[in-house]
Amino acid sequence: MSHLFYQTSQRRPLLDQARGVYLWDVDGKRYLDGSSGAMVCNIGHSNPNVLDAMRRQMEKSTFGYRLHFETEASEQLAARTAALCPEGMNKVFFVSGGSEAVESAIKLARQHALAVGQGGRWKVISRSPSYHGCTLGALAITGYAPLTEPFAPMMRAMPRVPAPRAYLDGLDPADPATGAHYAAMLEAEILAQGPDSVLAFVVEPVGGASTGALVPPVGYMEAVQEICRRHGVLLILDEVMTGAGRTGRFLALEHWGLSPDIVVLSKGFAAGYVPLGAIVARDDLVAAVLEGGGFLHGFTYAGNPLACAAGTAVIDEIARLDLVQNAETMGAALRKRLDGLAARHPVIGDVRGLGLLMAFEMMADHDSKAPLPAHLNAHQRLVDIAYDMGLIVYSRRTRDGIEGDHIMVCPPLIVGEQHLDEITDTLDAALT
Ligand code: PMP
């Protein structure tokens, strides 16, 4: 009998070891990690250089409380992180995960509004579907009904705009008019709410688990940034899943040359070696908050030296192994293979993604985009069959959490062609 409990009573085998792109359970069965955990283990498992860096840090110190000490490890990671962010974003605050980071970004934004005499701004607009975390603050801006509804009475309702699902709306994502159409919905919402009451817009640059690697239509992200600027609304990019090389750039924002106000990082940022997240904010924004009385926020483990040493070593490995480039190259190779699967398996209605943030969606009908009947639970069945065959992939409901079935295929960025073959051969058999 296990004393652990998670989301469901379903039990998975005990994990024994993990190396590179593979994991082994205690019975010696091998699994290819086709989802990097939950899009986390970007540099693969048990990277020896990261383990060495952690060992070296552990021998020096494992904890220094933030109000008593800075550490070399946190200073170093902050500098490395800022250097990877757009110009003028040099201020970093560490936390232990994605939800904490999202909450931190929202609280920093609010304290900035207060510091600059805009205390009327408190509404945070987000999109539906979206996922920003499971704590009550992050959940309040998450657009995924089954996760949020039970807690609705406990959270302040926040405005949402539709995530641009051009393929469902019959629009061409390559047509700039499509991007403009969805961005206009944000502006309309800001105007409806009253711009002076809107604090921030939070967005995943490429949709994550809630939409299945949904890439924004051409022009959308740039238009969104322009609209936010014009209305004094802070732009917060949730790069928890898209960051650390996943989309073929270190940050997804590089695809569109964006300069947001706050960037949120976690997952691949420490690649599963330690719990770590961060927010990176514009210098002037943080300066205003600090001058205005300080950042009223903080977690006991913020800036933990072991976590930060691991984070720096992960960034080193991403650079040394040229993983951002590999994500782009292997992403293109994976897309070709998934397109090939779609040609053989009519149940695949859409293949999408950027870099190695890839997904496909299963549908009952390509033309009408009708989803499979929800009771079939097709996404979970495919995940379970693949798991039995030794391939781990990640799935969710595509359409607001209620129906639709997408499978995310997001292996570690260290994959080669042979791993992609293994992934697609297994998916082929599982789909059959
Ligand atoms: N934001 C995004 C985009 C995510 O994908 C996730 C996790 N799936 C989170 C926030 C929350 O991160 P965590 O689970 O580490 O709290």
Those residues with Cβ within 8 angstroms of residue 414's Cβ, 6 or more apart along the chain or in another chain:
20, 21, 43, 44, 321, 323, 326
Given this model, what pLDDT does residue 6 score? Answer: 81
Residue 356 corresponds to which tokens in the numbers above?
A: 């190695």
Strand-pair partners of 357: 354
Given this model, what pLDDT does residue 21 score? Answer: 98
Ligand 1 centre from 130 Cα, in Å? Answer: 10
Given this model, what pLDDT does residue 2 score? Answer: 83
User: CB-side exposure of 63: number of CA atoms within 13 Å?
Assistant: 3
| pLDDT tens, the chain, 432 aa long | 788 888 777 778 999 999 999 999 999 999 999 999 999 999 999 999 999 999 999 999 999 998 999 999 999 999 999 999 999 999 999 999 999 999 999 999 999 999 999 999 999 999 999 999 999 999 999 999 999 999 999 999 999 999 999 999 999 999 999 999 999 999 999 999 999 999 999 999 999 999 999 999 999 999 999 999 999 999 999 999 999 999 999 999 999 999 999 999 999 999 999 999 999 999 999 999 999 999 999 999 999 999 999 999 999 999 999 999 999 999 999 999 999 999 999 999 999 999 999 999 999 998 899 999 999 999 999 999 999 999 999 999 999 889 999 999 999 999 999 999 999 999 999 999
CA-based R_g, the chain, Å = 21
Given this model, what pLDDT does residue 313 score? Answer: 98
Measure the CA–CA gap between 344 and 334, rounded to whole angstroms: 15
Can the peptide bond before residue 129 be classed as cis, meaning omega within 30 degrees of 0? yes
Please name which of 239, 261, 302, 234 lies closest in space to residue 91, comparing C-alpha atoms.
261
Ligand 1 centre from 367 Cα, in Å? Answer: 33
What pTM, to 2 d.p., does this model score? 0.98
Pocket around ligand 1 at a 6 A CB cut-off: 38, 97-99, 102, 131-133, 204, 208-209, 238, 240-241, 266
Please report the atom of ligand 1 found closest to the CA of residue 204.
3
How far is the CA of 12 from the CAs of 6, 69, 95, 194, in angstroms? 11, 41, 29, 49
Nearest protein CA to atom 1 of ligand 1, as residue: 132
Backbone angles phi, psi at 212, to 5 degrees: 75, 70
Three-class HEC string of 41-106: CCCCECCHHHHHHHHHHHHHCCCCCCCCCCCHHHHHHHHHHHHCCCCCCCEEEEECCHHHHHHHHH
Please report the atom of ligand 1 found closest to the CA of residue 99.
16
Ligand 1 centre from 224 Cα, in Å? Answer: 22
Ligand 1 centre from 35 Cα, in Å? Answer: 14
Those residues with Cβ within 8 angstroms of residue 170's Cβ, 6 or more apart along the chain or in another chain:
none
Instruction: Please give the domain boundaries of the chain with CATH numbers for all domains.
Output: 15-47+322-431 (3.90.1150.10), 51-320 (3.40.640.10)
| Mutation choice for ligand 1 from 131, 251, 394, 410, CB with most ligand atoms inside 8 A | 131
Q: Count CB-CB contacts under 10 A for residue 212.
A: 27
Given this model, what pLDDT does residue 292 score? Answer: 94
Nearest protein CA to atom 12 of ligand 1, as residue: 98
Given this model, what pLDDT does residue 397 score? Answer: 94
C-alpha dihedral over 142, 148, 149, 153, to 10 degrees?
-90
C-alpha dihedral over 178, 183, 185, 188, to 10 degrees?
-140
CB contact at 8 A, 276 and 269: yes
